Amino acid sequence: MDNPRQIAFLALRDVHKGAYADVALDKVLQKVKLQDIDRRLVTELVYGSVRRQRTLDALIDQFAKKKSQQQPKDLRTILHLGLYQLCYQERIPASAAVNTTVQLAKENGFAGLTGFVNGLLRQYIRQAGGGEGIPLQLSENPVERLGILHSFPDWIIQVWLEQLSFAETEQLCEWMNQSPTIDLRVNPLRTSIDVVEKALQSADVLVKRLPNLPQALRLISNSGPIQNLPGFKEGWWVVQDASAQLVSHLLEPQPGEAIVDACAAPGGKTTHIAELMVDKGKIWACDRTASRLRKLQENARRLNLQSIQICTGDSRQFLQFQNTADRVLLDAPCSGLGTLHRHADARWRQTPESVQELSKLQKELLAHTSTFVKSGGVLVYATCTLHPAENEAVISEFLAEYPHWQIEPPNTDSPLFAYSTPSGWCKVWPHRQNMDGFFMVRLRKTNDSE
């Protein structure tokens, strides 16, 4: 089977049964041999149809007698594929999008409904004929309007509108619907950013440096498989998003210190801490998931780092680190609202209830891991979400309960200074800074807290 659209349909069918989009996609791609261009098309169709699900459903509701939720599940998936190509794939001719979708219906048990599929897609083309964008009937309610147009659940739009203007919320939605970039973090213990930049350019991979991040390079051209790029095997660099690189700079680890990374896997920040400490000292990398810690060990080996010790288990249960750490990093499990562009289905999986559960977990982790810090030491709390219940509220509650801790804002010469707020914590807004959304704050334990 080498029909990219049929392969995308099979992956989407699994997603609609509850599979994670990336897992479903991997599963179907492993079974087939596709050329790069077809592989990219399958990936685009799967992630795009999942990401734009609410908008595509709204179009089905508009053009069909039966609402999208009342359509047979597989037929709804086929209509998503057809409409996604018509709405968002300018390089695919409309006639090809219609014909291949009708063919999909025929081959997947809907031969009797090919006329309906053809009619619905052609009706869309007629309405979109003026080139005025997607012909959506939109609500006057600003939350629903943005939710339908940019395909997000209302509650996420609401969370953003409480922090940003309508115009900025719309910019953030647009940013989250772009394909993610790949950023590298150069390992200064093995090479320099100049050497990596030249090696990548000579392999025809375009890169650019990023402000405030001395080790970061962003790939700005299609690079093919990451492990084939120059310097991968030699441990010259590791993939890590720009805003995640900021976190270890805020921690500011020093050579010879004892550090606990409380939720370490898959290890991007742990290995960065080791590099910043010139691999001298001890880093305890803790995580509940053994399989994800193995990924950390692989990266540490490739980067040739010796200072990392693995510790499997829930950081809320550990008693051995009491008052032992100069610095603790708590990169807490979160709803990931800052990285929705990287995980096509995350916007549909998280709910206000799951955010409340995460907020409770974050508070427990923070209360317990703060006991690991020596008097005068530092704890950095970080998440890749933009939800105040998981960020500002967690920190405010912690500080109210533990008076011997205080926020330490970044210095003016810190890479973090550009992102700091009057309250002293740092916040990265993707549409402003063009990188994943992040929240981070440095807390110091005052000396009289014994």
At 103-138, the pLDDT tens digits run 999 999 999 999 999 999 999 999 987 666 788 988
CATH label of the domain that carries residue 21:
1.10.940.10
Give the pairing of strands 426-428 and 405-407: unpaired
Residue 124, token pair as written in the block: 């869309």
Give the pLDDT confidence of 410-422 residue by residue, as tens digits: 999 888 999 999 9
Q: Do residues 229 and 200 touch, judged by C-beta distance below 8 A?
A: yes
Same-domain pairing of 246 and 234: no
pTM: 0.93
Residue whose token pair is 């926020």: 407
Name the residue among 331, 359, 334 with its Cα closest to residue 273.
Answer: 331
User: Does 147 share its domain with 94?
Assistant: no
Radius of gyration of the chain (CA): 24
Q: Say if residue 159 is in the same domain as residue 207.
A: no
Work out the mean pLDDT of the chain and round it to a whole number: 94
Give the pLDDT mean for 331-348. 95
| Confidence band for 449, pLDDT divided at 50, 70 and 90 | very low
pLDDT of residue 325: 96
Give all strands of the β-sheet with 182-186 in edge-to-edge order. 207-210, 213-219, 182-186, 237-239
Confidence of residue 36 (pLDDT cuts 50, 70, 90): confident
Q: Widest CA span of the chain, in angstroms?
A: 78
Q: Pick the closest to residue 153 from 395, 346, 403 (CA basis).
A: 346
Phi, psi of 36 (to 5 degrees): -50, -45
Structural domain of residue 63, as residue ranges?
A: 4-137
pLDDT band at 233 (very low <50, low <70, confident <90, very high): very high
CB 63 within 8 A of CB 120: yes
- Active-site amino acid positions: 384
Whether 164 and 110 share a structural domain: no
pLDDT score recorded for residue 132: 66
pLDDT, average across residues 434-445: 97
**Same structural domain, 167 and 96:** no
pLDDT in tens, 242-277: 999 999 999 999 999 999 999 999 999 999 999 999
On the question of pLDDT at 447 being above 80, the answer is no
CB-CB contact of 228 with 204 (8 Å): no
Same domain, 231 and 349: no
Using 50, 70 and 90 to split pLDDT, how confident is the model at 450? very low
List Cα–Cα distances, 92 to 39, 83, 87, 96, 100, in angstroms. Answer: 15, 12, 10, 7, 11
Domain tally, the chain: 4
Residue 433 token pair: 């800074």
